[in-house]
Structure 1
């Protein structure tokens, strides 16, 4: 998501620790993980951070898929993730499959984001690839509703070693997380943050990032202006309520 909030930082949260623990185990077992949660809870941010925290760094390949990709489009996304010549191999089914199976022999992690976009037959193609006896690459399936998507592909779902939900921020977490995220929150009263969270953001980190982006230029123009409840209400109204 694109924001205008210079000075913002990545934040290590309890949710990050949970995902890091789940992925460490899954990668050690060369298994499959499903990371899911509602939109705006920061799933991909914590997945990328967690993979950087693995005890031993392993190659990470990220597949970007379109909406309801047909098998050639999914195959192309996987080839691209491994740095392979997708344009040359996409429509050469046997050759592409051999190349992908060869790539999966190497220890590493394949992250498929927005897995909820993929239909059941194409998910089963992923299952066939990771079922190869030579596969040593772990598979991380991530997305809003990813756990429901896997229910439509029971053969793949049955092979998932770890399911990890990324929940919304607890109300008690929000003030501390925001102060780590951006310094403009340092002087904001906890009770005003709590009110905005209860009435608007509801623990959705993406919503808080948007609110921060709207507050930043106001404070940048007038550093003496307090972020009070009225200004917070205005900032909350700009993006609308989170989903």
Structure 2
């Protein structure tokens, strides 16, 4: 965890990760700068790692926010009362809104700009089902396929090819 945090904050992970006190001091200094550290899949963190995060964020002068995300993370945090008591707010992120799906995807990546909403709707109904992580994967495949040729238009055929790369779906 220490090495990952050092790397995420742009610190000398190689020279500090095996020296706990200097590494923690460097992390403490970095966390004095305003910012947000986003940890996805936080539900996989063990209680000792959650406590380590709590200790880092308990340092006086810490200005950075810690955002813990993941399916079931609230249950993991509930079992760490010292950390749970420091949670400022809880947010439940719903599925992507069908009415604004095209707009949301275009803000996420320009490959979706101008794509027929019916094609986006097909991919969502068939594969993504409102899941942003799945949309990120589809976007990656659409982008790779579109880059293969000149002026490749993102249409239903290209989206189907991208979705097929995700594996079988109903």
Mean alpha-carbon deviation: is it higher for 203-212 or for 174-183? 174-183
Unmatched runs of 5 consecutive residues or more in structure 1: 1-73
Residue 58 of structure 2 aligns with which residue?
A: 131
Q: Secondary structure at the match of 2:61?
A: coil
Relative contact order, higher structure (CA 8 A, sep 6+)? 1
Matches within 5 A, 1:94-243: 94-101=21-28, 103=29, 106-109=32-35, 111-114=37-40, 115-132=42-59, 134-145=60-71, 146-178=73-105, 181-182=109-110, 186=114, 188=116, 190-204=117-131, 205-210=135-140, 212-213=142-143, 215-216=145-146, 220=149, 227-228=155-156, 232-240=159-167
Are residues 193 and 92 of structure 1, via their aligned partners in 2, closer, same or farther at CA, if it must alter by over 3 Å?
Answer: closer
CA distance in 2: counterparts of 1:112 and 1:156, whole angstroms: 16
- Asked whether the 8 Å contact 1:184–1:216 carries over to 2, the reply is no
The answer to which structure has the higher helix fraction is 2
* CA displacement at 1:167 relative to structure 2: 3.5
Q: Deviations over 1:4-60 (max 9, x none)?
A: xxxxxxxxxxxxxxxxxxxxxxxxxxxxxxxxxxxxxxxxxxxxxxxxxxxxxxxxx
Q: Deviations over 1:118-155 (max 9, x none)?
A: 211121122123223x2332232343233343233221
- Asked whether the 8 Å contact 2:102–2:112 carries over to 1, the reply is no
Q: For this pair of structures, how many residues does the alignment match?
A: 163
* CA displacement at 1:156 relative to structure 2: 0.8
CA distance in 2: counterparts of 1:94 and 1:221, whole angstroms: 53
Per the normalisation by structure 2, the TM-score is: 0.67
- Asked whether the 8 Å contact 2:51–2:83 carries over to 1, the reply is yes
Q: Secondary structure at the match of 1:206?
A: helix
Query: Once superposed, what is the RMSD of the aligned Cα atoms?
Result: 3.6
- Asked whether the 8 Å contact 1:76–1:90 carries over to 2, the reply is yes
